[in-house]
Each structure stands twice: as C-alpha cells, then as structure tokens.
Amino acid sequence: MSGDDLKLLNTAEAAVYLRMATQTLAKWRSQGRGPSFVRLGGSVFYRVPELEQYITAGITAPEKK
C-alpha cells in the first residue's frame, strides 16, 4: 500500500476532491449512496482509492446518434 492508500480525507476534503458540496456527501451517506467511507469514533473519513473508484465507476461513453 502506498501513502495515498492510507490517507484519510475528511468530508470537506473529499468534497473538494470530488468537486461537490459537503452536504451532498452527507445526504448520500444517509441514503446509502456515494463513495465508501470510514467511520472512526464519531468522525467520517474517505480514502483516496475509494474516491477514485467512485469516479471511475461513473464514467460513461457518449451515445452515438
């Protein structure tokens, strides 16, 4: 594992990484959607590889017309 695999981003940092609002991540967590996260104590963190995997899963090819 590299250092990035172990780095934990808080919700605000993950939101910046994904270019979305922190409220969106919070809403998705409550709905069981969005990227995987880690809960340590009462805090929520995201690992960079899971964020990258979430981004990759959302890639779609343009439709031909």
Range of the structural domain that residue 8 is part of? 3-57
- 64 falls within a domain: no
Q: Half-sphere exposure (CA, 13 Å, Cβ side) for 4?
A: 5
Instruction: Quote the pLDDT of residue 4.
Output: 62
Residue 64 pLDDT grade (very low, low, confident, very high; cuts 50, 70, 90): confident
Average per-residue pLDDT for the chain: 92
- 40 falls within a domain: yes
Q: How many domains does the chain have?
A: 1
Global confidence as pTM: 0.83
Instruction: Quote the pLDDT of residue 6.
Output: 80
Reference 15, options 46, 38, 36, 56; nearest CA is 46
CATH number at residue 9: 3.90.105
pLDDT digits (tens, 9 = 90+) for 6-23: 889 999 999 999 999 999
Averaged over 35-56, what is the pLDDT? 96
- 9 falls within a domain: yes
Based on its alpha-carbon atoms, the radius of gyration of the chain, rounded to whole angstroms, reads 13
